């Protein structure tokens, strides 16, 4: 139920364009813009004093889920399968780009909990899979599972990026080239 509410929240953040859901990159651009806004708002504030915290990578998972739903909207089974495969590749490609910007944790000075969290999230982002989590399923379920796992890998890597950004150690996503400006949110017509 909570995940459904988060998906609804993510969908509500995008301008209505017919019945189309935003693509993963557009969704990620909006997430990055929100995060940069939070950083700006709380500049100089100790992380412990930020109401509600500052790291919200669950929104990244919503981007992956929206991508999965977009694929599921295809009418033909082969198109749905091909879309899920492309989605997993896109998510893993974004993960690789974000990981390329993550500095080694040993280069970050300090031993407060944000520095320790960065080291842990960096290790998780660079971890290896324990095996084929999605094997031995029906093909559609297997490709959906792979896309979902790719979304989780991106979420974990984004946590490392967000903590590194808070610490001033990772570059702005737009400057790094893996995100763009968020979509313009047009005012909604009043009834």
Q: Which pLDDT value is given to residue 2?
A: 46
Buried b (16+ CB within 10 A) or exposed e, 159-176: bbbbbbbbbebbeebeee
| pTM for the whole structure | 0.80
The pLDDT value recorded for residue 130 is 62
Stated length of the chain: 191
Domain boundaries, the chain: 2-43+50-176
Is residue 3 over pLDDT 60? no
**What local confidence, expressed as pLDDT, does residue 14 receive?**
46
Residue 183 has pLDDT above 50, yes or no: yes
> How far apart are the C-alpha atoms of 133 and 99, rounded to whole Å?
22
For residue 177, pLDDT over 90 is answered with: yes
Burial class (CB in 10 A: 0-12, 13-18, 19+), 106: exposed
Give the whole-angstrom CA distance, residue 45 versus residue 113.
15
pLDDT at 26 over 90: yes
The answer to whether 55 touches 19, Cβ cutoff 8 Å, is no
Q: How far apart are CA 86 and CA 122, in angstroms?
A: 26
As a whole number of angstroms, the distance between CA 140 and CA 122 comes to 31
103 burial (CB, 10 Å; 0-12 / 13-18 / 19+) is middle
Whole-number pLDDT of residue 12: 47
CA–CA distance, 138 with 136 (Å, rounded to integer) = 7
Once rounded to an integer, what is the mean pLDDT over residues 17-41?
Answer: 87
Dihedral sign computed on CA atoms, order 91, 95, 96, 98: positive
Q: What is the pLDDT of residues 31-82, one digit of tens each?
A: 999 999 999 999 888 888 888 888 888 889 899 999 999 999 988 999 999 9
Residue 111 has pLDDT above 50, yes or no: yes
Alpha-carbon span 149 to 87, nearest angstrom: 11
Of 62, 5, 3, the C-alpha closest to 30 is 62
In this predicted structure, what is the pLDDT of residue 100?
95
Does the pLDDT of residue 8 top 50, yes or no?
no
pLDDT of residue 33: 94
């Amino acid at each position: 139920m909570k995940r459904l509410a988060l998906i609804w929240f993510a969908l509500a953040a995008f301008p209505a364009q017919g019945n189309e859901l935003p693509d993963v990159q557009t969704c990620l651009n909006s997430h990055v813009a929100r995060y940069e806004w939070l950083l700006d708002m709380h500049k100089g504030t100790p992380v412990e004093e930020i109401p509600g915290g500052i790291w919200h990578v669950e929104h990244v998972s919503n981007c992956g889920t929206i991508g999965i739903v977009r694929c599921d909207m295809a009418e033909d089974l082969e198109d749905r399968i091909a879309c899920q495969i492309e989605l997993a590749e896109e998510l893993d490609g974004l993960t690789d780009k974000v990981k390329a910007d993550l500095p080694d944790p040993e280069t970050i000075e300090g031993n407060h909990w944000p520095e320790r969290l960065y080291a842990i999230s960096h290790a998780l982002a660079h971890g290896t899979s324990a095996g084929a989590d999605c094997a031995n399923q029906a093909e559609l379920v297997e490709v959906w599972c792979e896309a979902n796992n790719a979304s989780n890998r991106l979420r974990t890597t984004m946590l490392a990026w967000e903590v590194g950004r808070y610490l001033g150690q990772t570059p702005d996503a737009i400057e790094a080239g893996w995100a763009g400006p968020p979509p313009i949110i047009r005012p909604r017509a009043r009834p």
